[in-house]
Amino acid sequence: MSATQKVNRIRLVLLLGAFSALGPLTIDMYLPSFPQIVESFGTQASLVQLSLTACLIGLALGQIIMGPLSDVHGRRKPVIISLILYLAASFVCAIAPDIYWFIAARFVQGFAASAGIVIARAIVRDVYDGPELTKFFSMLMLVNNLFPMIAPMAGSGVISFTTWVGVFVVLGIVGLVLVIIATMNLKETLPVEKRVSGNFGELLTGMKALLKDRQFLGFALAQGIMVGGVFAYVSGTPFIYQNIYGASPQLFALLFASNGISLIIGSQVVGRYSKVFSERKFVVLGLLISCVASLAALLVILLHGPLIALVIPLFFFVASIGMTSTAAFVLAIGSQGQRAGSASALLGLLPFVLGACTSPLVGIAGENSAVPMGVIILTTSLLALFSYFGLAQKPKADIANTNVATKRVATKAQ
């Protein structure tokens, strides 16, 4: 690869990373201010957690709408329109008069942020395939995974000199900057001749075809359920670390950031060693690590272990997410051409739908119990493992036929 190609690749990674970063920024940046929002609105923790649920539902619905729309209208226009909507929703969050307005604005904010996530992934598929797709996506994950670390630290920094309102003012400014960047730098990657028809029936048929594909569905469920479990961790740790273990907002941000490092490690291992080990092996390894780590975390919680004893298994749990989601995404979307937007939408839909379900369940036993989080992350790890082996694992007959075909080709070559 020439120096120019490397520079262009880095530029594209940073550009797409900036768009898809809206997801983790929108989810994570206000986490340290949860207790402050409860006090400000005079409400309950469960309602503040419901604002996270509303955001996740918006992210899920937005992807399922914006992904197919980008297959019809191209990638550039939907991104710019959504960023403008994000800018407006962020400032509505900042001036919300009560918790219910806040929850509604969070839904719109999540819906708007979804375009950056789903269309960035579709653009990757437009530009790359094969091993280059795995390498580029792992680079994109590196950029994306920095923001779960940066966002809580930035949020805690903002609320250290202002209120939680400042967090959403900052998010609005980020939205404005991205509108300018998209307008000036984002080029269309899906030519008109490669776009699908805008007929709703054809879009629906394409979605049905994806859902009938066992391999695609197996990988989508495996990564979706795993990431859904992460949202239980995301929703639960602000209260577990700060209320149960007495951590300050700054310490919470550092602990949250350490697990962001583990997410980066997991995704980068896949990109670095994809030529040595298949993506399937990385999926299985990630799922097994997740099961062991989540079981260890639940045992620590039940035995009332110290904070460090809980942080360690959660570190490995989050690392397994980086490994599994990267490898499963590449395997799922690699075979999807002009339907990359729809495939990316379905891959993005499941994590946020499941996250919307798990987030409020974390607080079901109150603000001073970590047991629901432990149960949820273990359950999702096991379900993801069963989904892979039930749907995505190649039957032995298929593997045998593939080996026979390979031997025949080799014999003819000789």
224-283: pLDDT as tens digits? 898 888 888 887 888 888 888 888 877 887 887 787 788 888 888 887 787 778 888 899
pLDDT at 105: 95
Task: Kindly state the average pLDDT of the residues 131-150.
Answer: 73
CATH topology of domain 7-187+205-395: Growth Hormone; Chain: A; (1.20.1250)
Q: Has residue 414 got a pLDDT over 50?
A: no
Distance (Å, whole) CA 156 – CA 153: 5
Given a contact cutoff of 8 angstroms between Cβ atoms, the answer to whether 102 and 51 are in contact is: yes
Q: Are 232 and 358 in contact (CB under 8 A)?
A: yes
Name the H helices within 240-306.
Answer: 249-272, 279-302
pLDDT of residue 397: 46
What type of residue sits at position 51? Answer: S
Distances (CA, A) of 75 to 118, 137, 301, 395: 10, 17, 45, 36
Higher pLDDT, 367 or 54: 54
Answer whether 121's CB lies under 8 Å from 329's CB: yes
Q: What one-letter code names the amino acid at 112?
A: A
List the chain domain ranges.
Answer: 7-187+205-395
Q: pLDDT class for 399, splitting at 50, 70, 90? A: very low
pLDDT tens digits, residue range 273-324?
877 788 888 999 999 999 999 999 999 999 988 999 999 999 999 999 888 8
DSSP 246: -
- Alpha-carbon Rg for the chain, nearest whole angstrom, is 21
State how far the Cα of 279 lies from the Cα of 286, in Å rounded to an integer: 11
- Whole-prediction pTM: 0.69
Tell me what pLDDT residue 386 has: 92
Spatial CA neighbour of 46 closest among 408, 364, 414, 396: 364
The tens digit of pLDDT for each residue in 20-55 reads 888 888 988 888 888 889 888 988 887 888 898 899
pLDDT at 293: 95
